[in-house]
Amino acid sequence: MPVPPEIEARVGELREQVAYHRDRYFVEDAPEISDAEFDELYRELEQLEAEFPELVTPDSPTQQVGGAAASTFAPVEHVIPMLSLDNAFTLEDLLAWGKRIERQVSDPVAFVCEPKMDGLAISLLYEQGQLVRAATRGNGFTGEDVTANVRTIKSVPRKLKGEAVPERLEVRGEVFMPLAAFEGLNRRQGEAGARLFANPRNAAAGSLRQKDPSITASRALDIFCYQPGVKEGGPRLRTHWETLDWLRDLGFPVNPRIERFEWLDDVYAFSESMLEHRHDLGYEVDGVVVKVDDLGQREELGATSKAPRWAIAYKFPPEEKTTKLLKIMVSIGRTGRATPFAQMEPVFVGGSTVQMASLHNQDEVARRDVREGDTVIVRKAGDVIPEVVGPVVAKRKKNARRWKFPKQCPACGQPLVRVEGEAATNCVNVDCPNQRWGRIVHFAAAMEIDGLGEERVRQFIEAGLLADAGDLYSLTVEKLVPLERIGERSAQLLVDNVEKSKAQSLVRLLVALGINNVGPAAAQDLARELGHLDRIASASQEELVAVDGVGPILAQSVQEFFARPRNLEVIEKLRKAGVNFEGPVRATVPEEEQTLAGLTVVLTGGLERFSRDEAQAEIEARGGKVTSSVSKKTSYVVAGENPGTKLAKAEQLGVTVLDEDALVKLLETGQV
């Protein structure tokens, strides 16, 4: 059966959305939707792809593990992949797993129970006892080199203690931000008008990805280590329990709450008690990791490609509390979307105080039938965004009235318009002050203009200094100083930061413009293929969809954006100010020299003469394709210094492996 065009379009749209939100989560550390909403998008995509397998492409987000490695730091391939864990969502599932394990191994099993730290996994590498490298988990195979930043974490040992230190030792653990540090950081961010972090995990991830290590140093990160990775030398270890003791002796911080049990009943009791006391620990814990203690038994049990069979993560259920819903209001976002939200009596749930939650759209309010004055159930899963589950109807006052969606925009008074066939309602007045504010705040954040947060933008708009993002570039110290709460120094700093943003990449600029559906992934694709803002602006529908990764919906959004005179005005202001419109320079090799057309190349390990991006650009310029995983279809694997598991995979599949010299020859001649 041919795939109906609306399905194909929906799959394209879902891919763009999943890729966008995945980037927001993993790369930007600033999620916009809850994990549950993300899962819903992802599941819909998976279902459609299962129904229409011909639509599955290797670059679909369903075909990739975890987040993309963000591009600011050098890639590090993990010699032993950093696997993830299978989950149990109830204590019963946890017990069932334990019983299965007991049946699968012959001898009695002891279990080690550990708090599951809600931070981010890190790999620390020591050579001759000295810390030489720290890398994030990334997608499990390739992470990012964050050594300079990790060195600023006080509890990470620079030098190992004791006599029998192994030649080479990799230790893995979880970097996290203690709650007190998180609250202090958000307080300071708020005072400086900077973006607040959603939770300690995002704050830890954001702090670790700073380009300037002195910022990381100011962020009070901490670490608990839980297992060795690569280990050359050192004692022979028989159990996990013994391993943890050894790690402690070497100077690694190991969580003191870890316990060892010989009975599953005790594992159950530990997990139940951890659930009850999860908020008394001073750091966020989102579950319990239960591991088989004996390393021999672990070997017997083995691992799947994603997770070991000898461990499981019992994930705590989302927390729920009741509170009073005071008022339902509507906020207007930068795109004009009118989003109803609940204002509630503050309630402490899921590790933070909640007093507002999105109700998404008109249909959602109707479906939940929440009314002003209701007692409502609020839920916050260990992660991001709080949610109003529904009303406690038994406690409802008799005179409580159904809530009605307002007819006028609360910000500008113009009529709100419900989009036909969709749940969304919009304010369509592009001059609406809230939209304008949202667009400028978004622009400033995407262009990394430090010190220009929500409050500042509001202040500048009210002072008549900003009508759109283009006006940022005409701000001067003289114009800012007369405003309240701005001294000469902070005015100068702000003007300098605005000036610096002119050199941001085309990718950032594209994201900053706020074109519908254009997130970092789509912006990368457009910038790489079309190379200049003016080319993107003037590209036809056909030229846009010819860009790898761009579908018809995205193409249409781009065209609509550049058809609006108001947007073109902003772009002219940016051009006059000297904002960079150029994309990464791409070598273009004439048609007759497309010597690598039809070839697929995988790169692994570091090269001397090229950075990873340069090697990729050279190959692509000659018509070749670079992919991230090795399969039978791979033409060549290029292995540099410290190649990762891809080399082993190539050898296993009999794919030809090239060294750097052979790559150079291939580029020059198209032959090996």
Catalytic (active-site) positions = 116
Based on the shown chain and the rule CB under 6 A, indicate whether residue 121 belongs to the binding site for ligand IVH: yes
Q: Residues in the chain, how many? A: 672
Q: How far is the CB of 629 from ligand IVH (least distance, A)?
A: 20
Q: Give the Cα separation of 621 and 589 in Å (integer).
A: 6
The encoded tokens of residue 586 equal: 């791409």
Of the listed pieces 80-88, 125-133, 599-607, 621-629, which binds ligand IVH according to CB under 6 A?
80-88
Q: Does 289 bind ligand IVH (CB under 6 A)?
A: yes
The 85-104 contact track toward ligand IVH, x by CB under 6 A, reads x-------------------
Task: Tell me how far apart the alpha carbons of residues 120 and 397 are, in angstroms, rounded to a whole number.
Answer: 45
CA angle 646–652–654, rounded 5-degree value: 100
Shortest distance (Å) from residue 177 CB to ligand IVH: 14
Residues 225-264 that bind ligand IVH (CB under 6 A): 226
366 lies in the binding site for ligand IVH (CB under 6 A): no
| Residue in 29, 49, 174, 383 binding ligand IVH, rule: CB under 6 A | 174
Instruction: Number of helices (H) and strands (E) in the chain: give both, helices first.
Output: 24, 22
523: nearest Cα among 510, 533, 534: 510
Binding ligand IVH by CB under 6 A: which of 60, 62, 64, 84?
A: 84
Report, in Å, the least distance between residue 607 CB and ligand IVH.
29
Closest separation between CB of residue 117 and ligand IVH, Å? 4
Q: Which is nearer to ligand IVH, 239 or 434 (CB)?
A: 239
Q: Taking CB under 6 A as the rule, does residue 135 contact ligand IVH?
A: no
117 binds ligand IVH (CB under 6 A): yes
CA 4 from chain centre, in angstroms, equals 32
Rounded CA separation 477/482 (Å): 9
Torsion angle of the four alpha carbons 646, 647, 653, 658, in this order, in degrees rounded to the nearest 10: 120
- Give the one residue of 21, 24, 78, 116 binding ligand IVH; rule: CB under 6 A: 116
Ramachandran region of residue 464, left (φ > 0), alpha (ψ -120 to 50) or beta?
A: left
Nearer to ligand IVH, 84 or 595 (CB): 84
Instruction: Give the span between the Cα atoms of 323 and 393, in whole angstroms.
Output: 13
If one asks whether residue 114 binds ligand IVH (CB under 6 A), the answer comes out as: yes
Closer by beta carbon to ligand IVH, 289 or else 518: 289
Give the shortest CB-10-to-ligand IVH separation in angstroms: 30
Judged by beta carbon, residue 257 or residue 396, the one nearer ligand IVH is 257
With binding defined as CB under 6 A, does residue 454 bind ligand IVH?
no
Single out the segment in contact with ligand IVH by CB under 6 A; choices: 79-87, 203-211, 569-577, 642-650.
Answer: 79-87
Q: In angstroms, what is the minimal distance from the CB of 174 to ligand IVH? A: 4
CB atoms within 10 A of CB 57: 13
Stretch that binds ligand IVH, among 111-119, 459-467, 566-574, 607-615 (CB under 6 A): 111-119
Q: How far apart are CA 515 and CA 148, in angstroms?
A: 35
- Applying CB under 6 A, does 16 fall inside the site for ligand IVH? no
Q: How far is the CB of 505 from ligand IVH (least distance, A)?
A: 30
Indicate the pairing of strand 87-88 with strand 311-315.
parallel
Determine if 308 is a binding residue for ligand IVH (CB under 6 A). yes
CB 76 within 8 A of CB 640: no
Name the residue among 92, 117, 87 with its Cα closest to residue 313.
87
What is the nearest approach in angstroms of ligand IVH to the Cβ of residue 314?
11
Cβ 553 vs Cβ 12: under 8 Å = yes
Going 430 to 433 to 439 to 443, the CA torsion angle's sign is positive
Angle at 94 between CA 89 and CA 96, to 5 degrees: 120
Complex with ligand IVH: residue 252 or 636, whichever CB lies closer: 252
Site string for ligand IVH, 312-331 (x = CB under 6 A): -x------------------
- Position 311 contacts ligand IVH (CB under 6 A): yes
Q: Would you say 65 or 597 has its CB closer to ligand IVH?
A: 65
Nearest-CA neighbor of 424 among 405, 443, 402? 405
The tokens of 501 are what? 């943003």
For residues 672 and 658, the answer to whether their CB atoms sit within 8 Å is yes
**By CB under 6 A, residue 635 contacts ligand IVH:** no
CA atoms within 13 A on the CB side of 333: 16
Record the tokens describing residue 37, joined without a space. Answer: 């909403």
Residue 66 makes contact with ligand IVH by CB under 6 A: no
If the CB atoms of residues 313 and 603 are measured against ligand IVH, the closer one turns out to be 313
Of 568, 548, 440, the C-alpha closest to 498 is 440
Decide if residue 416 touches ligand IVH (CB under 6 A). Answer: no
For residue 206, the 8-state DSSP code is H
311 vs 446, beta carbon nearer ligand IVH: 311
Q: What are phi and psi of 21, to 5 degrees?
A: -70, -30
The reply to whether 113 sits near ligand IVH by the rule CB under 6 A is no
Residues near ligand IVH (CB under 6 A): 83-85, 114, 116-117, 121, 137, 174, 226, 289, 308, 311, 313
